[in-house]
């Protein structure tokens, strides 16, 4: 075997296939509640950009409860802890499905308040129970194949998310009624219930013994000061600041400024996951060989290019044609899937066995707090600019062009911080580029030639 080529990945542990089924049905469920359908439903209730920011930011904000929850994970056990939280949030989804049907006796303002209340319960249960998920999977999956596992899991999520949003687009059409949103949320609850069946079948593992002994006094300062981990936290904050709310506000832009229908918006956001699927298929067997740092670096460069496209759209330099927006969405799906997966892989790499639950809790809380606050702050900025516009030559500075320009600057900061990450076994960036631009295309042509 060529020493410069990635080796075939080892087999995954028995029973882990249930984690992929869980991820699939879980994505079929949560995309309705945390994704574009919920943003469009809130828009139908005349929610402001600030409220949309709260809807988008509530889930990551409530991950802060991982900090106190981490102290109880080792006592209760990974599987029991996750199952209790996921079961609670599925129950809340069925309550959410009834909100669109309350319009005959509740005003839109009251419906928004009820919606936010139930979303708080949904995200609170998720925030607490997710404290056990990463330690569970990290203990279950051997280090040499974590990249393969994460790629396959993310592939399942992207395929299910694409199917979910295309289904939602078909259900809503151009002028959706409240009962149509209720059907989508009921669909979410049913798939969430199915996901619990597969969650119960994932093999359980006992928490690491050293974690249990160290649970009495948690040195949060020492954890945050661990040099490789600190650098990853800084990147995570910059990434979360840039990405936080991007999905919600691109939907808001396409609906309000570009004048697209609900069905068109959902179709575009659904097809974006095709980009994620293609990226994950290509990198599945390569991540553990090349490492995460060069992949994230390349993706952040791509994000700067993508946001430049959104700035041009919002500034009126180019028209928001369907094909152009679809291209940007597919590139967003590609880059998001790879950055998100590789950030998780680097967290697994830098979290030692002792105190693993607390390392993951701190990582999740810091990144998710930023991910939650960012859309609220961006929403306030968008509402502050309001309908005001400023022309500079042929470019229009308005609420959305200001927003996209700010996000572009945040991605540039993330790129700078990414270059400072520590990953000793990562391959140089030029090797990754050779693999993408030279070796892989050659193999494709050889296969086609042999078939011809």
CA distance 267 to 249: 16
CA distance 16 to 199: 10
Among 90-104, 261-275, 387-401, the range of highest mean pLDDT: 90-104
pLDDT at residue number 142: 81
Q: Which residue has the tokens 């002792």?
A: 354
pLDDT at residue number 100: 95
CA distance 334 to 158: 10
Give how far the C-alpha of residue 432 lies from the chain's centroid of Cα atoms, to the nearest Å.
24
Percent of the chain exceeding pLDDT 90 equals 34
Per-residue model confidence as pLDDT tens digits over 313-333: 999 999 888 899 999 999 998
The answer on pLDDT for 422 being more than 70 is yes
Distances (CA, A) of 200 to 80, 194, 323: 9, 11, 42
Per the DSSP assignment, residues forming a β-bridge with 196 are none
Please give the domain boundaries of the chain with CATH numbers for all domains.
17-206+220-447 (1.20.1250.20)
* Rounded (10°) angle between helices 146-172 and 17-34: 40
pLDDT at residue number 144: 75
Of 119, 127, 128, the C-alpha closest to 32 is 119
CA angle 330, 335, 340 (to 5 degrees): 130
The answer on pLDDT for 54 being more than 60 is yes
Confidence of residue 149 (pLDDT cuts 50, 70, 90): confident
pLDDT at residue number 401: 94
Confidence of residue 41 (pLDDT cuts 50, 70, 90): very high
| Cβ pair 234, 350 in contact under 8 A | no
pLDDT at residue number 238: 93
pLDDT at residue number 1: 41
Confidence of residue 215 (pLDDT cuts 50, 70, 90): very low
* Rounded (10°) angle between helices 227-243 and 322-350: 160
The answer on pLDDT for 243 being more than 80 is yes
Q: What is the mean pLDDT of residues 84-103?
A: 93
Confidence of residue 286 (pLDDT cuts 50, 70, 90): low
φ, ψ (nearest 5 deg) of residue 397: -85, 110
The answer on pLDDT for 287 being more than 80 is no
Let me know how long the chain is. Answer: 452
Per-residue model confidence as pLDDT tens digits over 163-178: 999 999 999 888 889 9
Considering the entire predicted model, what is its pTM? 0.74
The answer on pLDDT for 213 being more than 60 is no
DSSP assignment, residue 94? H
pLDDT at residue number 434: 64
pLDDT at residue number 9: 52
Q: What is the mean pLDDT of residues 346-369?
A: 73
Q: What is the mean pLDDT of residues 22-42?
A: 91
CA distance 203 to 429: 37
pLDDT at residue number 398: 92
Confidence of residue 450 (pLDDT cuts 50, 70, 90): very low
Q: What is the mean pLDDT of residues 222-240?
A: 82
Token representation of residue 20: 């992929």
**DSSP notation for 381-437:** HHHHHTT--EEETTEEE-HHHHHHHHHHHHHHHHHHHHTT---TTPPPHHHHHHIII
φ, ψ (nearest 5 deg) of residue 175: -130, 75
- 157's enclosing H/E stretch is helix 146-172
Whole-number average pLDDT of the chain? 83
């Amino acid at each position: 075997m060529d020493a410069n080529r990635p080796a075939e990945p080892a087999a995954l542990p028995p029973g882990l296939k249930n984690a992929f089924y869980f991820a699939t049905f879980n994505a079929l469920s949560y995309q309705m509640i945390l994704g574009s359908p919920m943003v469009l439903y809130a828009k139908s209730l005349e929610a402001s950009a600030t409220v949309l920011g709260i809807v988008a930011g509530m889930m990551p904000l409530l991950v802060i409860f991982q900090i106190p929850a981490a102290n109880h994970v080792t006592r209760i056990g990974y599987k029991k802890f996750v199952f209790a939280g996921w079961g609670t949030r599925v129950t809340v989804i069925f309550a959410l499905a009834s909100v669109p049907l309350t319009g005959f006796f509740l005003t839109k303002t009251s419906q928004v308040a009820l919606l936010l209340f139930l979303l708080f319960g949904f995200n609170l249960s998720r925030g607490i129970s997710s404290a056990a998920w990463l330690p569970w999977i990290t203990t279950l999956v051997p280090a040499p194949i974590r990249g393969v596992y994460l790629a396959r899991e993310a592939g399942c999520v992207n395929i299910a998310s694409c199917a979910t949003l295309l289904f939602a687009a078909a259900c809503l059409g151009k002028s959706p009624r409240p009962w149509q949103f209720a059907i989508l949320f009921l669909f979410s609850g049913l798939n969430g219930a199915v996901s619990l069946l597969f969650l119960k079948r994932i093999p359980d593992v006992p928490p690491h013994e050293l974690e249990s002994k160290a649970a009495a006094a948690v040195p949060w300062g020492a954890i945050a000061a661990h040099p490789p981990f600190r650098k990853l936290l800084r990147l995570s904050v910059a990434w979360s600041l840039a990405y936080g709310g991007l999905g919600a506000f691109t939907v808001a832009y396409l609906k309000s400024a570009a004048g697209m229908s609900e069905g068109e918006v959902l179709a575009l956001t659904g097809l974006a996951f095709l980009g994620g699927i293609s990226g994950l298929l290509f990198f599945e067997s390569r991540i553990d060989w090349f490492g995460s740092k060069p992949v994230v670096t390349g993706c952040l460069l791509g994000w700067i290019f993508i946001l430049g496209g959104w700035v041009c759209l919002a500034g009126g330099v180019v028209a928001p044609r369907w094909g152009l927006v679809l291209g940007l969405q597919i590139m967003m799906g590609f880059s998001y899937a790879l950055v998100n997966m590789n950030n998780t892989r680097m967290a697994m790499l830098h979290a030692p066995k002792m105190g693993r639950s607390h390392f993951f809790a701190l990582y999740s809380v810091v990144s998710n707090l930023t991910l939650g606050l960012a859309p609220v702050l961006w929403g306030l900025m968008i509402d502050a600019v309001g309908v005001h516009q400023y022309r500079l030559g042929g470019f229009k500075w308005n609420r959305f062009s200001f927003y996209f320009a700010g996000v572009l600057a945040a991605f540039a900061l993330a790129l700078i911080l990414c270059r400072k990450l520590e990953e000793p076994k990562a391959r140089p960036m030029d090797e990754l580029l050779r693999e993408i631009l030279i070796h892989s295309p050659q193999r494709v042509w050889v296969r086609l030639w042999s078939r011809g």
